[in-house]
Amino acid sequence: MQVQIPKKQLSDALSSLERVVPSRSSNAALTQLKVSSTERGLALSGTNLEIDLEILVEAQINDGSDFVVPAHLFAQITKALPGELVELHLTGSELTVASGGATFKLQTGELGAYPELSFPTHSDLTLDAKEFARSISSVRYAAAAEEFRAIFRGVQMELSPQRSRLVATDGFRLAYRDFPASSTLEARKLVIPARNADELIRVLKDGEVKLTISNGTLSVSSDRVRLNAKLMDGELPDYERVIPSSSNVTIQLDSAALRESVSRVAVVADKLSNNKVEFIAASGKLQLVAESDYGRAQDVLEVQQSGTEPAITVGFRAKQLIEALGPIEGEVTIGLGMNSPAVFRASNDPGYLAIVNPLRV
Amino acid sequence: MQVQIPKKQLSDALSSLERVVPSRSSNAALTQLKVSSTERGLALSGTNLEIDLEILVEAQINDGSDFVVPAHLFAQITKALPGELVELHLTGSELTVASGGATFKLQTGELGAYPELSFPTHSDLTLDAKEFARSISSVRYAAAAEEFRAIFRGVQMELSPQRSRLVATDGFRLAYRDFPASSTLEARKLVIPARNADELIRVLKDGEVKLTISNGTLSVSSDRVRLNAKLMDGELPDYERVIPSSSNVTIQLDSAALRESVSRVAVVADKLSNNKVEFIAASGKLQLVAESDYGRAQDVLEVQQSGTEPAITVGFRAKQLIEALGPIEGEVTIGLGMNSPAVFRASNDPGYLAIVNPLRV
């Protein structure tokens, strides 16, 4: 086999695969990468049994064949090559990687020991890749890092004939984003493990992406990338009932300015007080206050204020505020309640909603 | 007290001080920063008892006074401020830090508990700051990270009427750089702990720097910065005798190209072989080879070759080669010996020399 392939494209593909393929495993075959010759170029694939990933790279192939090589070493070698074009040459079980005067010789692995990866050939749904990735990343922060209930460590995707929604919650806060993709499938909910959701965000770039749901697996495929992600069993508990339908005070202001102000006063907040930042809304002003043994910080922002009460004081964890505001560009509308969670909406984008529980005083 | 001070300058000074002042200490006074009002502005000083650092920041001061504040908190607050001008206001023991609408209130510490820092008023030697910093950083890598003999963890400065030299060695490799500063002092050697040397490199920027040696301390001062660095007891053993006076083969080539080539082939080298990269010099070519269970890498570079032998093969640790070549711009001249250390010189700069011991085959 003899292959000529542009270094940059090969190197980019290997970077994506390096994140999926484990560098160590009790099953040594999993640390390998499979390289297959196809009519459209070289197909590079790897798996950690949670995610299967295949990336296609255009190449000039003579006398194509398939082989497996140690994934991380092959990636490092490729990055270190001096030239712009890489030549691969397979002789027996030895792979020669040559470029710009440098030559590497690698032992290939046992092709038969490599797990069979299969990607679906039909699709259930077509989405805009960028919009889908943006929706996942808007809610991903609200998933639990560690939680007694595993389901909270996932991102739920809801498909229905009317709309699609991504939602995540750790039981204390919540974020969802709706997007207008309609599905011909019957209404259903699937929960993607957060780690797999992160990989989806990274892999989805431009153009269209086709989704297939089958057998506990979400498969996505675009022109150059195919990915299978294992799903979790079960679904999130009914979260709609915890979204407050009304608030005592509603304020509207620039999201970025509020995020900066929270970060600023949070400097003096400490763990003893749960890194608490207090919102004091009154007379068209939002005062932010944080306090600890070390000192006291205060900042004031102008807001548009409405509601049934003239004033309100509520405390939040600084980090939860910053994360809830993160996906909101432009103005944010915040509904504050005396005894209820705060609701964050993007003023110009009805699709996004976040809920943050206040700290007890 | 009332002070107006540009945020950027205050913030830069605090960043330097943050590196020196410990964030925790059994002596709580050491986590503080002293702020003194002087005729030239605010003098900010801190210490970890190994290094004392004072930085002067221009400021507009009314009714000046001295106080101490928690160093890291004050630095974080300053960085978080929204405005370009910072106002400091001391009322009793409470410091108010205000800028662009945000207000922080901090409890100041006990001024009497803060250690007295004293900087010398005379100087023994004047140097170009940039040249001095460059000389230290050219040799710093050769100091030991951990070693049975503490003295190897320092950088030795040699002063004599003829020249000044910085030298470091871990007992296996060595680097020195000479620079033309003549001293009126009698010839002497001082060993700066590597950590203190790192701080010197960071603090020395432009212009002239005055050096004072007294009482186990090296003091440097420039227009805006004063620093005392504790010295180590003792001096490096006589290293001149391990520098080979001749070589079997001498090669000359571009330093950056060689460094890249070493990094490249080192990708397949592994710890079992000490990350060995072999130099095979013959017939005006330098072949670089690395090998492990995973594969074999080879690269070839054109060199100018001379010497008493037609060819030579020597193996080195990849990292030691890369570090020895680091300070050399342009061409490097390497003297290779059958049974002696390799000598690296900058072809156009007689001041720098590095020695790397080959690996036994």
CATH code of A224's domain = 3.10.150.10
Q: Are residues B256 and B319 in the same domain?
A: yes
Interface probe with B: pick from A11, A67, A68, A267, most Cβ of B within 10 Å: A267
DSSP state at residue B66 = -
Q: In degrees to the nearest 10, what's the CA dihedral of B76, A356, A171, A319?
A: -10
Structural domain contains residue B321: yes
Q: How confident is the model at residue A162 (pLDDT cuts 50, 70, 90)?
A: confident
CB distance from B47 to chain A under 8 Å?
no
Structural domain contains residue B361: no
Q: How confident is the model at residue B245 (pLDDT cuts 50, 70, 90)?
A: very high
Q: Say whether pLDDT at A46 is over 70.
A: yes
Q: How far is CA B221 from the centre of its chain?
A: 16
Q: Are residues B266 and B228 in the same domain?
A: no
Q: Averaged over B89-116, what is the pLDDT?
A: 94
Nearest-neighbour CA in chain A from B96: distance (Å): 9
Q: Say whether pLDDT at A228 is over 70.
A: yes
Q: Are residues B154 and B217 in the same domain?
A: yes
Q: How confident is the model at residue A182 (pLDDT cuts 50, 70, 90)?
A: low
Which positions 51-80 of A are in contact with B (Cβ < 8 Å)? 70, 73, 76-77, 80
Q: How many Cα atoms are found within 13 Å in the side-chain-facing hemisphere of A353?
A: 18
Nearest-neighbour CA in chain B from A99: distance (Å): 10
Q: Are residues A204 and A310 in the same domain?
A: no
Q: Are residues B320 and B253 in the same domain?
A: yes
Q: What is the DSSP string of A182-239?
A: --SSPPEEEEEEHHHHHHHHHH--SSEEEEEEETTEEEEE-SSEEEEEEPBSS-----
Structural domain contains residue B92: yes
Q: Are residues B231 and B259 in the same domain?
A: no
Provide the token pair at A177: 């984003």
Q: What is the DSSP string of B313-326?
A: EEEEEHHHHHHHHT
CB contact under 8 A, A294 and B70: yes
Q: Residue B294's pLDDT is what?
A: 82
Q: Residue B187's pLDDT is what?
A: 86
Q: Are residues B35 and B52 in the same domain?
A: yes
Nearest-neighbour CA in chain A from B342: distance (Å): 24
Q: How confident is the model at residue B21 (pLDDT cuts 50, 70, 90)?
A: very high
- Domain end among B56, B80, B113: B113
Q: Are residues A133 and A232 in the same domain?
A: yes
Q: Say whether pLDDT at B228 is over 90.
A: yes
Structural domain contains residue B284: yes
Q: Averaged over A41-47, what is the pLDDT?
A: 97
Task: Say which residue the tokens 């990866």 belong to.
Answer: A117
Looking only at the bridges linking them, the beta strands covering A342-346 and A295-302 are unpaired
Task: Say which residue the tokens 């989704």 belong to.
Answer: A211
Q: Are residues A9 and A106 in the same domain?
A: yes
Residue A229 amino acid letter = A
Q: Residue B183's pLDDT is what?
A: 65
Q: Residue B22's pLDDT is what?
A: 96
Q: Say whether pLDDT at B212 is over 90.
A: yes
Nearest CB to A296: which of B105, B261, B267? B105
Q: Say whether pLDDT at B288 is over 90.
A: yes
Q: Are residues B190 and B254 in the same domain?
A: no
Structural domain contains residue B149: yes
Q: How many domains does chain A have?
A: 3
- Domain end among A240, A261, A279: A240
- Domain end among B80, B113, B146: B113
CB contact under 8 A, A263 and B80: yes
Q: Say whether pLDDT at A76 is over 90.
A: yes
Q: Say whether pLDDT at A13 is over 80.
A: yes
Q: How confident is the model at residue B291 (pLDDT cuts 50, 70, 90)?
A: very high
Q: Which of A69-73, B254-258, B267-271 is predicted with the least confidence, judged by mean pLDDT?
A: B267-271
- Residues A306-325: pLDDT tens digits? 999 999 999 999 999 999 99
Structural domain contains residue B210: yes
Q: Are residues B279 and B205 in the same domain?
A: no
Q: Say whether pLDDT at A293 is over 90.
A: no
Report the distance separating Cα A81 and Cα A88, nearest Å.
12
B330 and B254 in contact (C-beta within 8 Å)? yes
Q: Say whether pLDDT at B106 is over 70.
A: yes
Q: Are residues A213 and A156 in the same domain?
A: yes
Q: Averaged over A130-138, what is the pLDDT?
A: 94
Q: What residues of B are in contact with residue A299 (Cβ under 8 Å)?
A: 82, 101-103
Q: Residue A185's pLDDT is what?
A: 73
* Beta-ladder partners of A3: A61, A88
Structural domain contains residue A118: no
This model's pTM is above 0.90? no
Q: How confident is the model at residue B343 (pLDDT cuts 50, 70, 90)?
A: very high
CB distance from A213 to chain B under 8 Å?
no
Range of the domain at B11: 2-113
Q: Which of A230-234, B77-81, B270-274 is predicted with the least confidence, judged by mean pLDDT?
A: B270-274
Structural domain contains residue A119: no
- Residues A241-276: pLDDT tens digits? 999 999 999 999 999 999 999 999 999 988 777 899
Burial of residue A21, with CB atoms counted within 10 A of its CB: 0-12 exposed, 13-18 middle, 19 or more buried: buried
- Residues A90-101: pLDDT tens digits? 999 999 999 988
